[in-house]
A = this chain, B = another copy of it.
């Protein structure tokens, strides 16, 4: 453990609803380093997201040092926001590690025998899947937390741009991630230094059936 998360460090700016409405992708940032306690608090809150069976497969690498940022930008086909942002969060899913840590992930109030049965049953059920299937499933759960991260960041005055355009093998090699890891996104994050464009969305009525 490096530092205590400190929720008082997070200055609330707008409500979740306002943040959802206001959020834009930001690619120009104030280059000043981010407060580490704030950043860790943001990730702690992100990791409060629910996941099926509470497996919590999400993992984070926060890239801040110049050399790693430069290599990460290269692995992301030269996307400039990786260089412009004071930090880029590599958010990935690791189901192998998540299954390993299931006993620890279980609620501490769960009786020992129930916990053991739950762990055994879940591991057995995932053992029936291929590694690719297992990790693809973990990625879906990790993206729930990605939604949390983007909304929480916006709500606390951070700009973000999630990126899916990168060479996954290069990113994994660079950061020493296991081969089976599934990267949900690289998320450039910092205090915004541009307004960004208000994104366009399909009308919700055209996506919704009420019955």
Contact = CB atoms under 8 A, between A and B. Distances in A.
B43 A140 contact: no
Nearest to A44: B204
Contacts of A105: 200-202
Contact of A62 (B12, B43, B107, B209): B209
Copies of this chain in the oligomer: 2
A99 interface: no
A23 B48 contact: yes
Contact of A202 (B104, B140, B207): B104
Contacts of A139: 140
Interface residues of A, number: 76
A197 interface: yes
A49 B147 contact: yes
Nearest to A165: B52
Closest 5 CB pairs of A and B: A147-B147, A16-B155, A143-B143, A16-B16, A44-B204
